[in-house]
Structure 1
Amino acid sequence: MSAAHSAGALEPPPAQAVAADVARALEEDVGSGDLTASLVPAERRVTATIVCREEAVLCGQPWVTEVLRQVAPGAQARWHLQDGERTAPGAKVVEIDGPARALLTAERCCLNFLQTLSAVATRTARYVDAVRGTRAAILDTRKTIPGLRQAQKYAVRCGGGSNHRMGLFDAVLIKENHIAAAGGLTAAFRAAQALAATRPVAFIQVEVETLTQLQEALDAGVTMVLLDNMPLETLREAVRMAGGRCSLEISGGVTLERLHELAATGVDRISVGALIKDIQAVDFSMRFSERPVERGSR
């Protein structure tokens, strides 16, 4: 069963972004060459099986495929599970036939991508499960591993979550320091509206810390509000005040234990930095078996 909302949610990052991720990983791991793999006879061929040792939501197939393309282009992979699917302990994820040297070199990069991205997808799925039955969507933040933002945001989608802005370039989020520097909430919002009239802006969102600020945002016509670190009763009052006039998002102090009661206040979105920054790697392993020599070969 897939943890993601829909097949469309699982659109991976552009191929060039995946290729760049893999190239960086191989450069730092392989460098000028894999010394230990060179001890294996060049003609030796094996079947490598990647197994997931625990319950998880799988994520990382495009990166594993790209590692093989760059390191072992003749290898043949047979996937038993797809990104977004839940794994059982001991589940076979993929079997790969290819040259032993190349697969030995590819092993660690393949597993690193799988263990990290599956960890994000798995944690996200837990948060999504916790708000089931409410209207709240689970969103990520920009608290990603440098250089892996597109990969980790894809992993959030595999876990059934949604993405907030990709970076500082695609949307406007007006926070406390922006409000102070711009001369007030309304002034900052009007400046953002003027900016959006000159270039593509996915959305304009304003962060508020008090109900007084929320009222000012509503009066200014803000349609997306971020409620920062508000107590439960204040959140309920904020939902009542907004009355559906804007989308409300919770941020700050969000834990898995408190998640359902936060979602039950009636907010639309909950953004959680822990989806990405507080993960525990999922346990994957790769095991080799020598391929039988085909009849007639020498």
Structure 2
Amino acid sequence: MRICLSDKAITNLIAEDVPYFDLTTLGLGIGKEQGKIEFYTRHPMTVCATEEAVRVMQQCGATAHFSVESGTHLEADQLILAATGSAESLHIAWRIALNLLEYTSGIATRTDEFVKAAKTVNPAISVVTTRKVFPGTRALMMKAIVAGGALPHRLGLSESILIFKQHLVYMGGLSGLLEQITSLKQRFQEHKICIEVETVEDALVVAASGVDIIQLDKMPLGTLKELAQNLKQRYPDIKLAAAGGITLNNVQEYAATGVDLLVTSSLYFGKPADIAAKMSS
């Protein structure tokens, strides 16, 4: 998978953990001994960030001889990555690579389960994730959710138009915004205009304005399903996104409402994958 961290970002990860040298390896006098490190799955998972883990190994002076591609599903006790090098290089790279693999593979695995659950109910539905990532980790989070079969809802504020109620504060409310929909669509012809609403009444008004996408936030499932059916009948070209509180526990219920997109942040949060690192001389 081509999504990857820059060389500088890899260097910074190493410098954060090893600002000068590995004091333990230095003290034991084993730094020049040659060895091998292997990473194995402890449970079934969708693997991610192997490309970054390989580059960590390389920058630390080790050589990777085997790795699977991000997005690969592995069963338990399968090899993810293997590298050789000096004990110094392997010990420096070990935890940095393992952290990358475990955190991103945890997200990729949750995403894979979430997407499969949603598509079992509605094969045409899209799962997209929000900007609610831990600061500084967006590239890795996007790589992980794509590896699991989802897509970004928004990569950032610069490439999409999503209008919230907070924007309406400066526009005279929803009515003031709707007066500008035609001019917005004319100005941004390469972009879809999306408006988030919280009530059925606002959704109906927004749909009639010719907006491209309506994001329905935190609506009860029954209300959401009835509204989606109504809007799809009246405006067959409109796209509907459900957002707010969608998790693996209720994703199939949301997928069954008839919306086109499920917007979630839940995939970022949870246990990392459990990966074993085995070192040998």
Same fold (TM over 0.5): yes
Evaluate the alpha carbon distance shift between residue 283 and residue 50 of structure 1 in structure 2; reply closer, same or farther with a 3 A threshold.
Answer: same
| Counterpart residue type for residue 30 of structure 1 | V
Cα distance in 1, alignment partners of residues 159 and 190 from structure 2: 6
What is aligned with 1:272?
Answer: 264
Q: CA deviation at 1:258?
A: 1.6
Cα distance in 1, alignment partners of residues 39 and 247 from structure 2: 32
Evaluate the alpha carbon distance shift between residue 200 and residue 46 of structure 1 in structure 2; reply closer, same or farther with a 3 A threshold.
Answer: farther
- Aligned partner of 1:173 among 153, 162, 180: 162
Identity %: 28
| 8 Å Cα contact 1:172/1:192 also seen in 2 | no
| 8 Å Cα contact 1:75/1:99 also seen in 2 | no
What is aligned with 1:262?
Answer: 254
Q: CA deviation at 1:127?
A: 0.7
Secondary structure of the corresponding residue to residue 160 of structure 1: coil
Q: CA deviation at 1:11?
A: 3.4
| Counterpart residue type for residue 212 of structure 1 | E
1:213-271 residue CA offsets vs partner (Å, 9 max, x unmatched): 11221121111110001112211222123222311010012122221121111110101
User: Is residue 46 from structure 1 mapped to residue 35 from structure 2 by the alignment?
Assistant: yes
Cα distance in 2, alignment partners of residues 249 and 172 from structure 1: 14
User: Is residue 78 from structure 1 mapped to residue 63 from structure 2 by the alignment?
Assistant: no
Cα distance in 2, alignment partners of residues 195 and 30 from structure 1: 50
Q: CA deviation at 1:198?
A: 6.2
CA RMSD of aligned residues (A): 2.1
Evaluate the alpha carbon distance shift between residue 189 and residue 173 of structure 1 in structure 2; reply closer, same or farther with a 3 A threshold.
Answer: farther
Q: CA deviation at 1:110?
A: 0.1
Evaluate the alpha carbon distance shift between residue 40 and residue 139 of structure 1 in structure 2; reply closer, same or farther with a 3 A threshold.
Answer: farther
Farther off after superposition, 234-243 or 158-167: 234-243
What is aligned with 1:253?
Answer: 245
Structure 1 segment 200-239 matched on structure 2, within 5 A: 202-239=191-228
User: Is residue 22 from structure 1 mapped to residue 13 from structure 2 by the alignment?
Assistant: no
- Aligned partner of 2:52 among 37, 55, 63: 63
| 8 Å Cα contact 2:54/2:64 also seen in 1 | no
| 8 Å Cα contact 2:242/2:263 also seen in 1 | yes
Cα distance in 2, alignment partners of residues 190 and 96 from structure 1: 61
Secondary structure of the corresponding residue to residue 288 of structure 1: strand
Cα distance in 2, alignment partners of residues 209 and 195 from structure 1: 22
| Counterpart residue type for residue 253 of structure 1 | G
Cα distance in 1, alignment partners of residues 64 and 207 from structure 2: 57
Cα distance in 2, alignment partners of residues 67 and 190 from structure 1: 53
Contiguous gaps of at least 5 residues in structure 2: none
Cα distance in 1, alignment partners of residues 10 and 189 from structure 2: 30
| 8 Å Cα contact 2:194/2:212 also seen in 1 | yes
Evaluate the alpha carbon distance shift between residue 192 and residue 62 of structure 1 in structure 2; reply closer, same or farther with a 3 A threshold.
Answer: farther
- Aligned partner of 2:109 among 100, 119, 122: 122
Q: CA deviation at 1:206?
A: 0.5
| Counterpart residue type for residue 18 of structure 1 | S
TM-score (norm 2): 0.90
Secondary structure of the corresponding residue to residue 83 of structure 1: coil
| 8 Å Cα contact 1:251/1:272 also seen in 2 | yes
Evaluate the alpha carbon distance shift between residue 287 and residue 26 of structure 1 in structure 2; reply closer, same or farther with a 3 A threshold.
Answer: same
Farther off after superposition, 55-64 or 38-47: 38-47
Cα distance in 2, alignment partners of residues 200 and 11 from structure 1: 29
Structure 1 segment 181-192 matched on structure 2, within 5 A: 181-188=170-177
User: Is residue 102 from structure 1 mapped to residue 89 from structure 2 by the alignment?
Assistant: yes
Equivalent residues, number: 275
Q: CA deviation at 1:108?
A: 0.7
Evaluate the alpha carbon distance shift between residue 177 and residue 89 of structure 1 in structure 2; reply closer, same or farther with a 3 A threshold.
Answer: same
Q: CA deviation at 1:84?
A: 1.0
Evaluate the alpha carbon distance shift between residue 103 and residue 188 of structure 1 in structure 2; reply closer, same or farther with a 3 A threshold.
Answer: farther
Farther off after superposition, 112-121 or 168-177: 168-177
| Counterpart residue type for residue 12 of structure 1 | I
1:261-291 residue CA offsets vs partner (Å, 9 max, x unmatched): 2111111010111111x2211111221111x
Secondary structure of the corresponding residue to residue 50 of structure 1: strand
